Amino acid sequence: MAVPQMVYGVPMISFAGDGFCFPYPLDLIVNKKQHGLSNIHYQVSDGKGNLYLLADGSYTTLFRKRVLRNSAGFPILTIREKRLRFQPMKTRLEVFLVGNIDKDISNFT
């Protein structure tokens, strides 16, 4: 099966799924909604109002965890921010894809 090429000859790279690859530029709008003091929800849609992604997360936990979901609400990937206790200026992001069986080993760091 041939890999689709973008208009400018740059190959598409899919890390979360082929449903998020478009062969043309797409303008996206990110809406941020805050619920209470700690919960934040993001909605990513296009100019016509079609919903593409949902993200939710929390600020109050030690491991800040954000879940990226598709428009149907199914999780695509999970991002955890781990703050190091002795080095407050350093943070580390860990990305977990849906197909990951082991919850302790991240797909990306």
Q: What is the pLDDT of residue 33?
A: 85
Residue-wise pLDDT tens digits, 68-105: 888 888 888 887 776 666 655 666 777 777 777 676 66
Question: Any residues with CB less than 8 A from the CB of 49 and at least 6 apart, and which?
Answer: none
Residue 40 has pLDDT above 70, yes or no: yes
φ and ψ at residue 98, rounded to 5 degrees: -65, -40
Residue 101, sorted as left (phi over 0), alpha (psi -120 to 50) or beta, turns out to be alpha
Domain ranges of the chain: 28-97
What is d(CA 103, CA 78) in angstroms, rounded to the nearest whole number? 10
Please provide the average confidence, as pLDDT, over all residues in the chain.
74
Residue 60 has pLDDT above 70, yes or no: no
